[in-house]
Structure 1
Amino acid sequence: MDPEEVEFLGEKEIITIVPNFNYGIINLISGDIGPFRAGLPVKVPMWVAVNLKQQQTCKIQQPDWMDIDFLEELRETEKNTQTFTKMPNEHYMALTKSILNCASDDLIRANEIRTLVKDIWDIRMSKLRSSVDLLIKETASYAAVDNLTMMEINSVRPLLPHALDQIYRMKKLQGPRIGSNSTAGQSSRMSYSFRS
């Protein structure tokens, strides 16, 4: 799965808009949306919100997790812990990018939101790179990384399987010398797992 596919999945996330038009229920394969009443909030998939915003027929309501105080607290938590913090939305990066690109005028303190989300992303990517580096240096055979989002996992996907395959081959060539202190019957097969 490439980043565009992850962004595509993120566009299915439900957000709230305030339309400036009236219309009945729209039947989609993924489910019904609407009815639309001018001035009344309605929940729609992100891709519908972007489309309506581009036509200037709605305002996008700022998601609760895009609150500045919440994002500042999340950034500090992420910075001060070694593990990954659970994110408020699986597709936080794709949603932030989409909303800021088409509806920054609908957000309160949009530039600060952009900076905070980018800071959080950078901190998490730094942790992820360090974790992968440590995994490879220690020739570990298993990594359990909780609370990663699909986009974050996708960022290491091109490198990690190849690196782990090479480590497995080196262990296999070195034979019984590696893991001689390990318990008998333990498999030397390399495995890795990412849990989001």
Structure 2
Amino acid sequence: MNAADGEFLAEREKIQIIPNFSHDKLYLIAGDVGPFVAGLPCEVPLWLAVNLRQRGKCRLVAPSWMDPDALTQKKEDEAQSKVFTEMPSQYYLAVAQLILTTAPQDVPNSQLVKTLVKDIWDLRISKLRSSVAEFVRESGRHARLYHLTPTELNTIQPVLPAALDQLHRLSSAAVTAASGGGDASSQQHDTSVL
């Protein structure tokens, strides 16, 4: 999965909008949305919310987890915990980026929200990197990854399997050299993690 795939999946998440138009229910492949009544909140997929907002047809209502107090608490929880905490959305970073780029004026304290989301991301990526380093240092064979989001996993996916394969080849070569025989390069070992 690449960043574009993550954004595509994030766009399927539902958020509320306040339309400035009225329209009957829309029958979409992904599900029905509406009816739209001017001034009344309506839940729609993020991709539709972004499209309507860009055309000036609605205001976005930020998800409750994008409240500065909720994000501050999440940041504190993440900083204090040795393990990853559960995130309110699997695609929190992409959702926040889409909302904050499309309609920062619709999000109270948008700059603070942007900073807090970035801080949480940085904390989690730092924790992920140190976990991977410890896993490699201890010659781990498998690991359980709880509460990591697909976007976070995507940051280590290109590097980790290749690094583990290389470490295995080196350790196999060292064992073979110590025992005095065999061609270690002929041994294949798949350490696919993701």
With the length of structure 2 as denominator, give the TM-score of the two structures.
0.89
Distance in 1, matches of 2:33 and 2:175, equals: 60
Moved over 2 A (4+): 167-176, 189-194
CA distance in 2, matches of 1:97, 1:159: 25
Superposed CA offset, 1:9-47 (max 9, x none): 111101000100011111111111111110111110000
Taking the aligned partners of 1:78 and 1:168, their CA distance within structure 2 comes to 33
Bigger Cα displacement from structure 2, 155-164 vs 166-175: 166-175
Deviation, structure 1 residue 54? 0.2
Taking only aligned residues, the RMSD between alpha carbons, in angstroms, comes to: 1.9
Task: Give the total of aligned pairs.
Answer: 184
Q: Is the 8 A contact 2:161 2:191 kept in 1?
A: no
1:152 — aligned with what? 152
- Asked whether the equivalents of residues 15 and 45 of structure 2 are also in contact (C-alpha less than 8 Å), the reply is yes
Q: Does 1:123 align with 2:123?
A: yes
1:141/1:190 contact within 8 Å kept: no
Matches for 1:1-196 after TM superposition, within 5 Å: 1-175=1-175, 191=191, 193=193
- How many Å separate the matches in 2 of 1:193 and 1:13? 27
Residue 184 of structure 2: aligned partner: none
Report if the CA contact (8 A) 1:33-1:44 is conserved.
Answer: yes
Corresponding residue for residue 181 of structure 1: none
Gaps of 5+ in 2: 177-188
Q: Deviations over 1:40-80 (max 9, x none)?
A: 11110000000000001000012111111111111011111
Which whole-Å deviations, capped at 9, do the CAs of 1:156-194 have from their partners, x for residues lacking one?
111011112122323444459xxxxxxxxxxxx665656
Amino acid in structure 1 at the alignment position of 2:16: T
Asked if the contact 2:19–2:37 (Cα under 8 Å) also holds between the matched residues in 1, the reply is yes
1:94 Cα deviation after fit: 0.4
For the Cα contact (< 8 Å) 2:23–2:36, is it kept in 1?
yes
1:92-150 residue CA offsets vs partner (Å, 9 max, x unmatched)? 00000000001111111111100101000000000011111111222211121210001
CA separation in 1, counterparts of 2:78 and 2:191?
A: 27
Mapped contact 2:53–2:59 kept (Cα < 8 A): yes
Identity of aligned residues (%): 43
AA aligned to 1:156 is I
User: 2-side partners of 1:78 and 1:190: how far apart?
Assistant: 33
Helix, strand or coil: the match of 1:145? coil
**Paired residue secondary structure (1:148):** coil
* 8 Å Cα contact 1:14/1:45 also seen in 2: yes
Superposition TM-score, scaled by structure 1 size: 0.88
Tell me the distance in 2 between the aligned counterparts of 1:157 and 1:104.
32
Distance in 2, matches of 1:118 and 1:190, equals: 34
